[in-house]
Amino acid sequence: MPFTLLENNREWSRKMREQDPEYFERLANQQSPRFLWIGCSDSRVPANEITGLAPGEVFVHRNISNRVENWDRNILAVLQFAINQLRVEHIIVCGHHGCGGIKAATEGTEEGPLGDWILPIRRMVQDAPLQREDFASENDWINYLCEQNVREQVRVLRKNFCIREAERAGQQVQLHGWVYGLNDGLIRDLGV
Ligand code: CO
C-alpha cells in the first residue's frame, strides 16, 4: 500500500519536470507564499487542492477543528514565521461543515490528549448564542457551531502579538474567516 504513494510521487515528479524542467530548482531556492492557511486536519479539506494553489503558494497549518490556541506553541511559531519571515499578506482560517472535532465537543466523551484539545471547543459550544433547540436539525446546529468556531479563531488572531506588532510597523496582514461545504466543495466567506 505505501508503495503506491511512492509510485504516485515518482509519476508526479516526472510529470512536473516534463511540463517545466526548472520547476523544482526554482521552488527549492525559495518559497514566497502570500497566504497562511489555518485549516482542519480533516482529509476532505486539502488546502492547495480546493483553492487551486500550487506548491510554494500557501503556507499551511492544520489541526483538529482549525483552532488558534494561545497555549499552542506550534501555531504560535507558525504565525511568527509566516508573518515575520514569509511576510504573508493574508491569513485564512478555514473551517468546514460537519467537522468531527466540533461534533465531538457537543458529545463530550473524549479523553486523553484529544479530550484536552476539545475542551476549549466544548466551552465555545456552551457559550454559543444559539443552542441545539434553536435549530431544526442536529446537522444545522453543528454547521452553525463550525462557523462560530471560525469567527472565534479570527477574534483570537486579532489579539495575536505578532499580528499586532506587524500592523504597528505598517505591515498589512488581512484576516479572513471561511467555511468549506463538504456537500458542494464550495468555500463561503463569513465576512468576519
Ligand atoms: Co474538521
Q: Are residues 10 and 95 in the same domain?
A: no
Q: Are residues 111 and 57 in the same domain?
A: yes
Catalytic residue list contains 99: yes
Question: Which pTM value belongs to this model?
Answer: 0.94
Q: Are residues 77 and 125 in the same domain?
A: yes
Q: Are residues 43 and 75 in the same domain?
A: yes
State residue 52's pLDDT score. 95
Q: Are residues 16 and 53 in the same domain?
A: no
Q: How far apart are CA 160 and CA 91, in angstroms?
A: 12
CA of 93 to the centre of ligand 1 (A): 12
- Quick one: pLDDT band at residue 30, thresholds 50, 70, 90? confident
Longest distance between any two alpha carbons in the chain, whole Å? 58
pLDDT tens figures, 177-187: 999 999 999 99
* pLDDT surpasses 90 at 2: no
Q: Are residues 67 and 141 in the same domain?
A: yes
Considering its fold, how many domains does the chain have in total? 2
Q: How far apart are CA 95 and CA 177, in angstroms?
A: 8
Average pLDDT over residues 30-53: 95
**Based on C-alpha coordinates, what's the Rg of the chain?**
18
* pLDDT surpasses 90 at 41: yes
φ/ψ (deg, to 5) at 178: -125, 155
Catalytic residue list contains 44: yes
Q: Are residues 107 and 36 in the same domain?
A: yes
The x, y and z cell numbers of residue 174, run together, are: 488581512
CATH number at residue 92: 3.40.1050.10
- Domain of residue 3, residue span: 1-30
Q: Are residues 22 and 36 in the same domain?
A: no
Q: Are residues 22 and 117 in the same domain?
A: no
Q: Are residues 7 and 44 in the same domain?
A: no
Q: Are residues 6 and 97 in the same domain?
A: no
- Residue 171 burial (C-beta neighbours within 10 Å; 0-12, 13-18, 19+): middle
Catalytic residue list contains 184: no
Q: Are residues 24 and 67 in the same domain?
A: no
**42, 67, 146, 176: which one is catalytic?**
42
CA of 99 to the centre of ligand 1 (A): 4
Catalytic residue list contains 42: yes
State residue 1's pLDDT score. 64
* pLDDT surpasses 70 at 151: yes
